[in-house]
Amino acid sequence: MLHKNRLKWTMVLSNMNTKITATGLILLFMCGCAQTQKRYVLHETLQISKEQISAMEEVVEVQPANILALKKLVSAYITNHEFERARHYADRLLTLDSSDVDAHYFMGLIYARQGFEAEAKEAFNKALELNPRHIPSLFAKAYIEEKKMNFYGARKLYYEVLEIDPDDADAHYNLAVLYDKKLFYPKKAFYHYEKALNLYKQQNANPDLIFLLKDRIDELKLLARDE
């Protein structure tokens, strides 16, 4: 059976009414022993060609304070796993405005992708200090806590997301997986799986994900009957 723990990387670029979302999946293959594989699924709007990147670099050469172009460059280089280039432009953003939430969040992503969890957490904390309702940073911190096996710490962060947005399907899903596979509270897992399922249906989510949720909910129902 396949379970997916969803990790949202969401970048809300200032000065434009565009929300660019990237969702990462941790795939858990439940077959006696669990293997964890991390996979980042990036929104197609972040798939920027080298030619487009070169064009944006020309823009920031002429307009070094062009915040939007700098943020697009950071996003593009994170997507391409060119973290030193991404950090270069993230540093430029912070030089222009040390209170830019996106810039601190970008730095957290860069550190997290490179495996520097302490530095990543510090950057996400700074983003949350500037904007306590910054949901992507809460998800990112929860992911770090789960990697450290601090499941109660991760749970707290997912509930903080739900305080901001009670209908965040990914937060419900992650809580369900956490209760199901790590904290072993099947009733709470069932509740959050059902919440996630209903919300994903409203969003016309991937049919495979819908199927997996229904399958696990049915299994939990059977387990409850046997108790």
Locate the DSSP E strands across the chain: 2-12, 19-31, 33-41
List phi, psi (to 5°) of 11: -115, 115
Yes or no: say if 169 and 178 are a contact pair by the CB < 8 Å rule. no
Domain ranges of the chain: 165-227
Dist. CA 27–CA 18, nearest whole Å: 29
Is 0.75 topped by the overall pTM? Answer: yes
CATH architecture under which domain 165-227 falls: Up-down Bundle (1.20)
Using CA of residue 57, residue 62, residue 65, residue 66, what is the dihedral sign?
negative
List phi, psi (to 5°) of 140: -65, -40
Q: Count the Cβ atoms, other than its own, within 10 Å of residue 94.
A: 16
What tens-digit pLDDT sequence spans the chain (227 residues)? 434 455 554 443 333 322 233 333 332 222 222 222 222 233 334 567 888 889 999 999 999 999 999 999 998 898 888 999 999 999 999 999 999 999 999 999 999 989 999 999 999 999 999 999 999 999 999 989 999 999 999 999 999 999 999 999 999 999 999 999 999 999 999 999 999 999 999 999 889 889 999 999 999 999 888 76
Take residue 221 and report the two structure tokens written for it.
Answer: 């129902």
